[in-house]
């Protein structure tokens, strides 16, 4: 397939990073983005449209391939609809997206397929959940459905566990997503994110990354979508083999057994406990901001890789990864992840030459950029060592300004290999 018209669905830093790489492909003729952001507006044509209308919009524009960035449209069945319109799409169908869309589905899937994960119990009512923790003690609490990163709580004591259950199951703060909860053993260890590209039969392991979920330095403050990331994280071959054999391969076998035709990304959120990997969660899309650190390291044509995956022809070869390190620092609006203001003019972008800038919550109006979200920009430094990548990233960060901007100053500090 040559001269492809391609649509990217999404509006975050992850999607701008995908757009950056797709834009470099020889196979691209024109790039469209729905709903896009200020960065994507410089790479392709940003168009408006609701998720439900995407297949028809794509047909009308002669779009030949769709890449879906975020999870929500996948869980809602966007990939199924596009396939009905005979448009190849990168992303699982609604059944496959249940790996992320329902924690109960994911946990039962892992149990059935002998995939290591924390012991768990599913509670369908508040009373049932309270009885369980009173009897068995403190557990991680996970709302069943999508919750935009707000659905998992690791409580410090029984009182706060009960408060969380009250908010999820009685006050219904997460809507229907919190009607059922998974209560699972709290694991202690080292966390790591692994990503595969798969067409359901074969898979390619992408470089591993680490994200920084807490808002403030030293991993303090509230959880966010991610305030920075680094890649690659070196993993010893012993641990990589365990991840491949016990987790990735069993997951793909399980999907095949359940006749789930999975074409896209599987993101494994793992915890290493005494050198053994356990799955904390599956996601059915790339991580944000992990993607912003990983994509600049990929040498291959990402559009070709994603397209071949979508048409079930994933090549049986590994991709080429540059022998470099990347460090991504997120610039956020003051107040994020709680209330924040938008519409602030962003200064200094034109002075950045040493780093890659991926936009997230930005808008371009008459050639100027304004903030339009909580996470605003991703500044990515690339270097021959993590330290040089980090230095570059922070040097570029110091050139950018907008009112109430904040960021973490410790991204990439003290990162250890996994051996
Ligand atoms: P999840 O969305 O399931 O990845 O959960 C969000 C975060 O909660 C993870 O990245 C972990 O830091 C933490 N977490 C989830 N499950 C557990 C668990 N069973 N034990 C300890 N921490 C957990
Ligand atoms: N960075 C975590 C996520 O994308 O879910």
Residue 168: inside a domain: yes
Determine the structural domain holding residue 136 and report its residue range: 120-184
- Residue 287, ligand 2, Cβ within 6 A: yes
Residue 318: inside a domain: no
| Maximum Cα–Cα distance across the chain | 62
* CATH for 46: 3.40.50.20
Please name the residues in contact with 200: beta carbons below 8 A apart, sequence gap of 6 or more.
252, 255, 256, 260, 261, 262, 263, 312
The reply to whether 145 and 203 lie within a common domain is no
The reply to whether 175 and 197 lie within a common domain is no
Q: What's the gap in Å between 225 CA and the centre of ligand 2?
A: 6
The reply to whether 283 and 382 lie within a common domain is no
Question: In degrees rounded to 5, what are phi and psi of residue 261?
Answer: -90, 95
Please count the structural domains in the chain: 4
Q: What's the gap in Å between 287 CA and the centre of ligand 2?
A: 4
Pocket test for ligand 1, best of 190, 280, 281 (most atoms within 8 A of CB): 280
Matching residue, tokens 């972008």: 349
* CATH for 394: 3.90.600.10
The reply to whether 144 and 203 lie within a common domain is no
- Residue 281, ligand 2, Cβ within 6 A: no
What's the whole-model pTM score? 0.96
- Residue 71, ligand 2, Cβ within 6 A: no
The reply to whether 252 and 334 lie within a common domain is no
Q: Which residue's CA lies nearest to atom 16 of ligand 1?
A: 280
Q: What's the gap in Å between 140 CA and the centre of ligand 1?
A: 7
Alpha-carbon distance values, 79 to 19, 62, 65, 97, 126 (Å)? 19, 17, 11, 10, 34
> In which region does residue 327 sit, left (phi positive, over 0), alpha (psi from -120 to 50) or beta (all else)?
beta
Pocket test for ligand 1, best of 71, 101, 140 (most atoms within 8 A of CB): 140
Q: Each residue's pLDDT tens digit in the chain (419 positions)?
A: 789 999 999 999 999 999 999 999 999 999 999 999 999 999 999 999 999 999 999 999 999 999 999 999 999 999 999 999 999 999 999 999 999 999 999 999 999 999 999 999 999 999 999 999 999 999 999 999 999 888 999 999 999 999 999 999 999 999 999 999 999 999 999 998 899 999 999 999 999 999 999 999 999 998 899 999 999 999 999 999 999 999 999 999 999 999 999 999 999 999 999 999 999 999 999 999 999 999 999 999 999 999 999 999 987 778 999 999 999 999 999 999 999 999 999 999 999 999 999 999 999 999 999 999 999 999 999 999 999 999 999 999 999 999 999 999 999 998 888 88
Residue 74: inside a domain: yes
* CA 83, 85, 89, 92 torsion-angle sign: negative
Residue 414: inside a domain: no
- Residue 290, ligand 2, Cβ within 6 A: yes
Residue 320: inside a domain: no
């Amino acid at each position: 397939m040559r001269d492809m018209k391609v649509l990217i669905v999404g509006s975050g830093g992850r999607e701008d990073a995908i757009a950056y790489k797709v834009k470099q492909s020889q196979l691209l003729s024109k790039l469209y983005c729905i709903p896009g952001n200020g960065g994507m507006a410089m790479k392709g044509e940003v168009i408006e449209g609701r998720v439900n209308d995407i297949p028809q919009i794509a047909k009308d524009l002669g779009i030949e391939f769709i890449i879906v960035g975020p999870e929500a449209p996948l869980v809602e069945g966007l990939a199924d609809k596009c396939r009905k319109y005979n448009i190849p799409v990168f992303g699982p169908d609604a059944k496959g997206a249940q790996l992320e869309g329902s924690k109960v589905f994911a946990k039962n899937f892992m149990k059935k397929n002998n995939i290591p994960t924390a012991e768990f119990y599913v509670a369908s009512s508040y009373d049932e959940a309270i009885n369980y923790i009173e009897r068995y003690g403190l557990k991680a609490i996970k709302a069943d459905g999508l919750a935009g990163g707000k659905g998992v709580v690791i409580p410090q004591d029984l009182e706060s566990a009960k408060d969380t259950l009250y908010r999820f199951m009685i006050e219904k703060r997460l809507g229907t997503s919190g009607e059922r909860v998974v209560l699972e053993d709290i694991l202690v260890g080292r966390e790591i994110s692994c990503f595969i590209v798969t067409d359901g039969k074969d898979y390619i392991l992408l470089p591993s990354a680490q994200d920084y979920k807490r808002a403030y330095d030293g991993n303090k403050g509230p959880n966010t979508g991610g305030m920075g990331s680094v890649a690659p994280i070196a993993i010893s071959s012993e641990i990589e083999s365990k991840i491949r054999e016990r987790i990735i391969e069993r997951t793909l076998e399980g999907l095949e057994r359940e006749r789930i035709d999975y074409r896209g990304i599987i993101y494994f959120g793992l915890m290493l406990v005494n050198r053994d990997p356990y799955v904390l969660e599956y996601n059915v899309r790339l991580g944000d901001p992990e993607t912003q650190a990983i994509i600049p390291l990929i040498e291959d044509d990402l559009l070709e890789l994603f397209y071949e995956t979508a048409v079930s022809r994933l090549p049986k070869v590994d991709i080429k990864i540059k022998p470099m390190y990347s460090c991504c620092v997120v610039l956020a609006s003051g107040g994020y992840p709680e209330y924040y203001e938008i519409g602030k003019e962003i200064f200094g972008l034109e002075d950045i030459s040493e780093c890659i800038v991926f936009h997230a919550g930005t808008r371009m109006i008459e050639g100027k950029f304004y903030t339009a979200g909580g996470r605003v920009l991703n500044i990515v430094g690339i270097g021959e060592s993590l330290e040089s990548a980090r230095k570059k990233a922070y040097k570029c960060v110091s050139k950018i300004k907008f009112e109430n901007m904040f960021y973490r100053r410790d991204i990439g500090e003290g990162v250890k290999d996994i051996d």
